[in-house]
Amino acid sequence: MSFVTTKDGAHIYYKDWGTGQPIVFSHGWPLCADAWDVQMLFLLQKGYRVIAHDRRSHGRSSQTGTGNEMDTYADDLAALIDSLDLKDAVLVGHSTGGGEISHYVGRHGTSRVSKMVLISAVPPLMLKTDANPGGVPMEVFDGIRDGTMNNRAQFFKDLALPFYGYNRPNATVKQAVIDEFWREGMAGSVLGLYECIKQFSEVDYTADLKKIDVPTLILQGDDDQIVPLDGSGRKSVEIIKNATLKVYPGASHGMCTTESDQVNADLLAFIQS
């Protein structure tokens, strides 16, 4: 197993396959790098170098008692990118990972980055505030905190249903997808996962989005029940200078799994453009 050691001594697990232009993937909550397996294998076979890490306190990375916040997540990503000396990288972030790669740019710039992809991503801000009246109420996130703290094993099984749109009429439910969501979520630290909720819900990424100066593709479903499209993708495309939004009709938050063929095709076309 491969790890990079951060400045505070945490060990960040990553997988690094292939050669060529590097594509760096950042996963959503409460998952790990394995959530990207379908995209990684596809792009590897197209001749790219594909890299994905487990965010600290997720998956196989160190379960730290500190640093479970977005500044450190972004710096951990920088430690990985710098240690591998990546250049001309395409950063791809899903959900919380979209916040992570945006905040990476906000703190470290785009000198090593050629393009970015935000998929069902949390920026600019999920939480409902006076300045963001269309956001998600705090009670929703408090419910996620309660479920994570008190019975995350059951909560993750329940959360997988809206995550993949399996609670919709006539949905084709795949139990193996639910099982994999549960497996990845349970591998993480309950402390780290709990603390990460604040990072995907309350952090305002607007300033980070304004610093993105490379071509950016935004992909999101219009039936995203976790990160509503109107408050995220539709706003981000107006903030990022050179961004394009593609909306998937009827697609869920977990579209990298449920719409993997189309996501893969769109990733490849954007990278090659």
How many other CB atoms are there within 10 angstroms of residue 246's CB atom?
14
φ, ψ for residue 93, nearest 5 deg: -130, 135
Q: Can you tell me the distance from the alpha carbon of 222 to that of 77, in angstroms, rounded to the nearest whole number?
A: 29
CB 26 within 8 A of CB 100: yes
Residues 6 or more apart in contact with residue 179 via CB below 8 angstroms: none
Residues present in the chain in total: 273
Q: What Cα–Cα distance (Å) separates residue 115 from each residue in 84, 156, 178, 214, 247? A: 18, 32, 31, 5, 19
233 membership: H or E segment, kind and range: helix 233-239
Residue of 57, 62, 95, 102 with catalytic role: 95
In 95-137, alpha helices (H)? 96-108
For 62, how many CA atoms within 13 A lie in the half-sphere containing its CB? 17
- Whether 253 sits among the annotated catalytic residues: the reply is yes
Task: List the structure tokens of 193.
Answer: 């996962």
Indicate the burial class of 230 (C-beta count within 10 angstroms; 0-12, 13-18, 19 or more): exposed
Residue of 58, 189, 224, 252 with catalytic role: 224
Active site residues: 95, 224, 253
